[in-house]
Amino acid sequence: MLKHIYTLVTTIALVLTVGATTALAAGGGNIPPQQEWSFKSSSPHWDTEQMFRGYKVATQVCLSCHSFKYIKHRDMMKLGFSEEQVTKLAKELDMGVDDLFISPLSAENAQMAYGTEVPDLSLMNLARPHGADYTAALLTGYNNPPKGFSVPAGKSYNAYFPGNVIAMPPPLTMADQVEYPESGPQASVEQMSRDIAAFIEWTGEPTQIERKNLGVFVLLYLLIFTILSYFLMKRIWLGVKKKK
């Protein structure tokens, strides 16, 4: 029953994103392919192993330019990591468990290097249509521009970025660029892109799973309440009819 209700809710949400999809296409970016995510499944949850791999990509690649200013290592305990584990991870980066993920790249240096400010990534999935699908597609969307398409010097062509011209050079360029756990999948560009996209989904809304699960129970409560109200109404009107 809960799975059916959640499926109904996600279907409604998908319909509501049609307008955003049209806007993205109009902006010159291809619509990213839909992928399967644990946080969008019939039993939404955070894939802890994927979160750890995404953390690796975030800290070994993204953090050199981008901040995640709304999270700290201690927050990862909500994903199931122990205090000892997050303390060790923070220490490896010369950080404290309560230090925010702030990039060493200053706004001035970012302007000199890329000609624009570098955005914080914490809320990136919330800021873009298609969320994690978009982020994963963007990171794999770097390729040669089509014939006749002009890309300014210092910029790159990306099939999924609105307008197709992006200031950020490809951040993920080869397999095993990030050190992954031996027990997990290979760190291919596609896998790293998916993992960081999932991690950014969490940084944008750490309470997403709780909200979805609560929403299912609220809908179930409303459904039961509606059914009981219907039968109560019928019983009341049946008594009124008998009096007449």
Give pLDDT, residue 129. 92
pLDDT tens digits along 146-162: 999 999 999 999 999 99
Report domain extents, the chain: 2-206, 209-244
Q: Provide the CA 154 distance to its chain's centre, in angstroms.
A: 28
Residue 210: the pLDDT is 84
What's the pLDDT score for residue 229? Answer: 74
- 157 pairs with which residues across the strands? 165
pLDDT at res. 239: 61
Which residues on neighbouring strands pair with residue 165, listed in sequence order?
157
Residue 169 structure tokens: 């050079």
**Residue-level pLDDT at 20:** 40
Give the model's pLDDT for residue 26.
43
The domain made up of 2-206 has a fold known as: Cytochrome Bc1 Complex; Chain D, domain 2 (1.10.760)
pTM: 0.78
Query: Which helix (H) or strand (E) covers residue 156, if one does?
Result: strand 156-157
Rounded CA-CA distance 84/195 in Å is 23
Other beta carbons within 10 Å of 130: 22
Integer Cα distance of 229 and 55 in angstroms: 49
pLDDT < 50 stretches in the chain: 1-26
